Structure 1
Amino acid sequence: MQIGSGETGTPPLTLTGPQLQFPAMPTPKKVVFSYDPDEFEDFVKEWVPALNTKYVRVERHGGSGDHGIDVAGYLTPQGLEGDWHNYQCKHYGDPLTWSKAAPEMRKMFAAAVRGHFTVPKRYVFVAPMIGRSLVRLFAKPSDTRRDFLEDLKSTRDDVITSLSNAQREAVEKLAEGTDFSMFETVDMDEMIALHRTTPHWATRFPQPQVARPQIMVPPPEHGPDEARYVQQLLDVYRERWGDTTSSLEQVAEHRQASEHLRRQREAFYSAESLRLFARDASPEGHFEAVLDDVFDIVVEVADGIYSLGWERLQAVLNSAGQVELTETILTKYVRPLDRKGVCHHLANEDRLTWCQEGDT
């Protein structure tokens, strides 16, 4: 029998074993509500690029001396001196209202008068909860301007009272000539839906615990994708038991070798089921990260001096079970048999070799 020859009509892979059950995870919305202000600004910075692919770049400015800019999306290389959008982040335990939004608007106009930046084309308030009265007010830009100008006359905000009379007049004049439709709010549900399209989604939010598919059962016939690691196992068997185990037909007649090959194929297909699950349920590269974690440790074991490839194989398989995997969204799905199977995936790629010249 030729390794990897495979015959048409080979029975499809079957699955066995119970599916895992997991407790419910918090929704993304609940996660966002739990953020502190810094975490929320980071979340907004991840979301903004998905709004407008024309942004030259997106920067976070939040902090002391930010002049009312938390996250800025630049439409030109001139940054704050050209066309840009401001995303003002407000993470409160209650809805964002006019009394909390107006001071930020005054800060923006005062900073523009002082020459810190040009007035943005859009000014978007981003908060987990937006008061309905604020949404209704922003829906009528002329009313928003009217209320802003009325408040401006009586405000005691330091950002305004610290201005000279000429600067205060400039703020009023700038506000009178500004189209207040620039002020907007964003719905958190829409924001989360758009964030889902970004590469940050999978790492920021706990993903719904999808049950891993049941483990594949090796088909009766060896497939082409098994050729190299099975050949390496045949080399091990021939070295240990002689020419009576140099082919698959002979191995099938050898009690120890046949049982050993059966177990290794089960491990290979367990890891293969993990690979397919990772491909469909996690970002690209997660299964490869498991391969690399295992390889980085067991390659040192494989480089030892052994009298037989069998001894190297057993030492590597044992050490694979002790490897500490990098914590990713896939790690919790990795089973002990997968680690063993990963070694055969590595052998299938010739990253591990069991029988080596120079063994004593």
Structure 2
Amino acid sequence: MAKTAKASESTATTALPIPTPWPGANARLLGLGVGLPVAPLTRLAQFSAAEFERFTLEWASEYLSKQTQVFEVQARGGSGDKGRDIIVWLDAANIVPRRWQLFQCKHYDAKLGLSKAGIEIAKVLYYTHIGDYTPPESYYFVTHKGVTSPFQDLLDAPESLKSEMIDTWDSYSKAITSKETIALSPELKAHILNFDFSNFSAKQPHDLIAEHAQTKYHLTVFGAPLLNRPPPPPPPSTVAAIEAKYIGQLYRVIGNDIGTVVGSSEDFKHSSYHARMFERSRLTFYSAEGLKEVARDQMADQAYFDTLLDEFSDGLYYQYTEPNGTPIARLKATVSAAQSIQLGSHPLEPHVTSKDREGMCHQMANEERLDWCNP
């Protein structure tokens, strides 16, 4: 009997565990049939040479050039660049000595190691020695896959990197220029010994992505994440300057409906219908303002909001330009139609609420794209 129980025990099975949600799954992308999102670091590592060149151009033009200490950014990569790919000038051309930074962008099939990076370092050491240009204040290796651990160790220990460059100079002497072999002369060695190797560092891929995320190109390259949209703030107790134009139109609409000139909300506080409509209009206007902040602050480009406003402006044209009817009827028809307008694959579409849709009508009035009283 004991034997039977033991046999039964050994053949017992347990139910399969329920799979947990896939890490990083983006419900919006799955809903579009796109599948799991590709992590930015993974996407960066998969870039071809042409894609990485475009990526670094976007990064340099939209991020580097906008840093407060930067005077000018130049792309120098190509024949005769003397080891300078992207130059960031910190001073105007008439300043002597003119401070600058160097960003060397390299695309290889594997992580960047000293065998290839050493050639670029040797170029800087040689050309600063012969006086073609001054030493940069900082030198960054910019790669799509990062650098090897041994090379990072050398970057973290400048004196060790200096010794390694001197010991292995013959490995780079023929690659500095195609015109001649650059031997390690006593003068060049003395220059290297005096050179500040702490200027050399690697721009880590995650830092590169974080900086590229501050450009208007980022969403095109890496896609839109699930944005964390905070609830819009309530309208201020008094009308703000940014509301002036659409509020003025609301006053005229309400004035037309009640048969009197309206100059403030006090003029129609006796009508609960118009008072509620006025407060709701302000509420929805600020809801749409929150959408504008998402585009500007989280998507790094207010143009996403502007193109969304274009969609509403085009899609609702026949409602707000209808010549028949009263201004308030025109407003209500436009607001009602806004609830069903198709936004297609616009990047902001997943974040648009019903209040936003109504508020976009008042945003159009605020930008004078429409006039409820003069269609």
TM-score, normalisation: structure 2: 0.61
Structure 1 Cα separation of the partners of residues 365 and 63 of structure 2: 42
Structure 1 Cα separation of the partners of residues 134 and 156 of structure 2: 24
* Deviation, structure 1 residue 22: 3.0
- In the alignment, structure 1 residue 22 sits paired with structure 2 residue 28: yes
Alignment of 1:64-103 (within 5 A): 64-78=79-93, 82-103=98-119
Show the counterpart of 1:188: 205
Which residue identity is paired with 2:114?
Answer: W
Which residue identity is paired with 2:28?
Answer: F
- In the alignment, is the contact (CA less than 8 A) between 2:232 and 2:290 conserved in 1? no
Show the counterpart of 1:163: 180
Structure 2 Cα separation of the partners of residues 191 and 272 of structure 1: 34
| Closer/same/farther in 2, CA of residues 150 and 345 from structure 1, 3 Å limit | closer
- In the alignment, structure 1 residue 39 sits paired with structure 2 residue 64: no
Q: Deviations over 1:283-341 (max 9, x none)?
A: 384686244664478679756754654775578568867697995x5354336774454
Show the counterpart of 2:371: 353
* Deviation, structure 1 residue 131: 0.9
Return the match for 2:124 from 108, 115, 128: 108
Q: Deviations over 1:74-114 (max 9, x none)?
A: 23324896332212122334221111111112233344456
Which residue identity is paired with 2:56?
Answer: E
Which residue identity is paired with 2:371?
Answer: T
- In the alignment, structure 1 residue 124 sits paired with structure 2 residue 169: no
How many residue pairs get aligned? The number is 319
Structure 1 Cα separation of the partners of residues 171 and 238 of structure 2: 81
Structure 1 Cα separation of the partners of residues 89 and 70 of structure 2: 5
| Closer/same/farther in 2, CA of residues 267 and 65 from structure 1, 3 Å limit | farther
Show the counterpart of 1:279: 293
Show the counterpart of 1:148: 165
* Deviation, structure 1 residue 195: 5.8
Structure 1 Cα separation of the partners of residues 367 and 193 of structure 2: 69
Structure 1 Cα separation of the partners of residues 285 and 38 of structure 2: 29
- In the alignment, is the contact (CA less than 8 A) between 1:236 and 1:354 conserved in 2? no
- SS for the counterpart of 1:352 is coil
Identity within the alignment, %? 22
* Deviation, structure 1 residue 43: 5.4
Between 1 and 2, higher relative CO (CA 8 Å, sep ≥ 6) is seen in 1
- SS for the counterpart of 1:22 is helix
| Closer/same/farther in 2, CA of residues 315 and 108 from structure 1, 3 Å limit | same
Between 229-238 and 100-109, the greater mean CA deviation after superposition: 229-238
Structure 2 Cα separation of the partners of residues 32 and 278 of structure 1: 29
- SS for the counterpart of 2:150 is helix
Show the counterpart of 1:330: 348
| Closer/same/farther in 2, CA of residues 315 and 131 from structure 1, 3 Å limit | same
Q: What's the C-alpha RMSD, in Å, of the aligned pairs? A: 5.1
Show the counterpart of 2:263: none
- SS for the counterpart of 1:89 is strand
Q: Deviations over 1:34-62 (max 9, x none)?
A: 44331342355255468x74343333323
* Deviation, structure 1 residue 140: 3.4
Q: Deviations over 1:182-227 (max 9, x none)?
A: 322233344545666x565865654531365789999xxx997896
Structure 2 Cα separation of the partners of residues 347 and 76 of structure 1: 45
TM-score, normalisation: structure 1: 0.63
- In the alignment, is the contact (CA less than 8 A) between 2:70 and 2:89 conserved in 1? yes
Between 340-349 and 161-170, the greater mean CA deviation after superposition: 161-170
* Unaligned stretches of 5+ residues in structure 2: 1-25, 30-35, 260-267
| Closer/same/farther in 2, CA of residues 306 and 171 from structure 1, 3 Å limit | farther
Q: Deviations over 1:14-39 (max 9, x none)?
A: xxxxxx95347544433433443313
* Deviation, structure 1 residue 134: 0.7
Return the match for 1:139 from 115, 134, 156: 156
Return the match for 2:74 from 45, 52, 59: 59
- In the alignment, is the contact (CA less than 8 A) between 2:71 and 2:90 conserved in 1? yes
| Closer/same/farther in 2, CA of residues 351 and 139 from structure 1, 3 Å limit | closer
Structure 2 Cα separation of the partners of residues 180 and 214 of structure 1: 49
Which residue identity is paired with 2:164?
Answer: D
- In the alignment, is the contact (CA less than 8 A) between 2:73 and 2:88 conserved in 1? yes
Structure 1 Cα separation of the partners of residues 82 and 312 of structure 2: 49
* Unaligned stretches of 5+ residues in structure 1: 1-19, 240-246, 253-257
* Deviation, structure 1 residue 125: 1.7
